[in-house]
Amino acid sequence: MPPRPRTAAPSAPPPRPRVTSDLPLPGLRSATPRTPWPVRAGAVLWTFAVGAGVVAVATSAIDSTGLRDELYLSARAAAPKRTAAVLHDSVTVTIAAAAVFTGVVLLGVLIGTVLLNRRRRAALWVLPVAGVLALAAAVLDQNLVAGGATDLDRWSFLVFGACVLAGLVLLPVRASRAWLRRH
């Protein structure tokens, strides 16, 4: 009987079974892209802006009697011939309009921040619009709370405006725009 030819032993391991999960294989890095630093810094700044705005509105509401008195005195000095009822009503309308405007702007900044954190393209237009309106609200409210009993509301509006301005500066950076458009 002639000798049988020998077959070579397999040198490679058997093939892996098919993967049916979305989880990364052990030992492999995930394929999620890293968030660029301007986006991370911008998200922190926008979040601080919302926090500072909420603190500013809350401290202004706490000091509303001092704010009303100061506004009434400045309105009385500007228009001495007006009746007290008209001046009180105008002060009430001014404070209510400023509070509503600031609240709507804060809501817009909050929505834009959520969109930025969720990597939505809409953040590219929501945040600039809300940011410009937020700067206007910060300037308006800074002028309204100038004579209150505490300076915490003034400082909070100042921090609010500074965080919004810094967030607006970081938004058009190339890395931010590319990261939001790539998704």
* Digit-coded pLDDT (tens) for 55-111: 999 998 888 888 888 888 888 898 888 898 998 999 999 999 999 999 999 999 999
Q: Model pTM? A: 0.77
- The domains of the chain are located at 37-182
149-169: burial string, b at 16+ Cβ within 10 Å, e else: eeebbbebbebbbbbbebbbe
pLDDT tens, residue by residue, 1-23: 677 766 666 678 888 777 677 67
Inform me whether the pLDDT recorded for 29 exceeds 70.
Answer: no
